[in-house]
Amino acid sequence: MFEEVEHRIGYTFKNKDLLKQAFTHISYARDAGIPHYETLEFLGDALLNFLIVDLLVESFPEKREGALASLKAYLISEEFFCELARELGLPEHILMSRGKKNVSIIGDVFEALWAAVYVDSGRDCNLVKELFTRLFKDRILETIRSRKVKRDYKTLLQEITQKRWRERPLYRVISVEGPEHARIFTVESSIRGMSAVGKGKSKKEAEQEAAKKLVEKLQKEDIQT
């Protein structure tokens, strides 16, 4: 079932169950009584964060930390990971019993897949880096050089608040509603008595929306003063 995935990423799994787990949504896992991908996704999030940062520092050693952080924020986003996952044809292999294969779920599976490769390879970070670089380095650099990197509002908000007050905004999850396969997160972003609330299908998406609204508030305040 997953031979096509192995062929596309250039890696053959020793433990096929681990590969299947990376594509197993919690809704399917509960019905089938098998492990789901959430733990792998947690590991994959950190792993891809490192790989992206390493690639940025290697490719753009002259850029300042702020510029690199802004690029990183988009390149590790669910939206970008979803794009890469679609290019590999990963969504068609996701195992779900309920709900839709939205951006958040596809991005999570992308992270889980790379964590699965890492674990299956005996935690060989060099091998994972080699595979990831071969598949995506040119794609990532082209995205940056063609200025297709979308603005990250969490980074923008932090840049504004650090410059004004040398403080970072706070984020707080207000609520999580809906069934597990279709959750809606509500997050508040706040600083110095000002706040804004955002909603999204994931915590990251809700944080981006809250940050965007708070940026707009601060910019509106600047115009009025």
Tokens of 196: 């804004």
Using the 3D structure, point to which of 99, 119, 145 is the last residue of a domain: 145
Element (H, E) at 51: helix 38-59
The stretch 21-40 carries a mean pLDDT of 96
Residues 194 and 132 in one domain: no
| E-assigned strand segments in 8-79 | none
pLDDT top residue among 92 and 99: 92
Residues 134 and 57 in one domain: yes
Residues 102 and 159 in one domain: no
> What is the per-residue pLDDT for 67?
80
> What is the per-residue pLDDT for 70?
78
Q: State yes or no: pLDDT of 77 exceeds 90.
A: no
> What is the per-residue pLDDT for 115?
98
Q: State yes or no: pLDDT of 45 exceeds 60.
A: yes
Residues 110 and 21 in one domain: yes
pLDDT digits (tens, 9 = 90+) for 124-183: 999 999 999 999 999 999 999 887 777 778 888 887 898 889 899 999 999 999 987 788
Residues 68 and 159 in one domain: no
The stretch 93-107 carries a mean pLDDT of 91
What confidence tier does 79 reach under pLDDT thresholds 50, 70, 90?
confident
Q: Is 120 a catalytic residue?
A: no
Tokens of 72: 């990183």
Q: Check which CATH number belongs to the domain holding 114 and give it.
A: 1.10.1520.10
> What is the per-residue pLDDT for 199?
95
> What is the per-residue pLDDT for 222?
60
> What is the per-residue pLDDT for 220?
76
Residues 114 and 201 in one domain: no
Closest CA to 167 of 156, 154, 158: 158
Residues 134 and 189 in one domain: no
Residues 98 and 11 in one domain: yes
> What is the per-residue pLDDT for 48?
96
pLDDT digits (tens, 9 = 90+) for 176-206: 999 877 889 999 999 999 999 999 988 988 9
pTM: 0.74
**Where in the sequence is the domain holding 218, given as residue range(s)?**
153-224
Residues 104 and 59 in one domain: yes
Q: State yes or no: pLDDT of 33 exceeds 80.
A: yes
Q: Is 205 a catalytic residue?
A: no
Number of domains forming the structure of the chain: 2
Annotated active-site residue in 78, 108, 111, 188: 111
Annotated active-site residue in 45, 78, 120, 205: 45
Residues 213 and 195 in one domain: yes
Q: Check which CATH number belongs to the domain holding 216 and give it.
A: 3.30.160.20
DSSP state of 15: -
Alpha carbons 106 and 88: distance in angstroms, whole number: 11
Residues 164 and 126 in one domain: no
Alpha carbons 69 and 75: distance in angstroms, whole number: 10
> What is the per-residue pLDDT for 153?
85
Alpha carbons 137 and 161: distance in angstroms, whole number: 32
Alpha carbons 164 and 109: distance in angstroms, whole number: 38
What percent of the chain clears pLDDT 90, i.e. is strictly above it? 70
Using the 3D structure, point to which of 145, 166, 185 is the last residue of a domain: 145
pLDDT top residue among 13 and 212: 13
Residues 126 and 21 in one domain: yes
Using the 3D structure, point to which of 145, 170, 200 is the last residue of a domain: 145
Is residue 85 within 8 A of residue 17, CB to CB? The reply is: no
What confidence tier does 68 reach under pLDDT thresholds 50, 70, 90?
confident
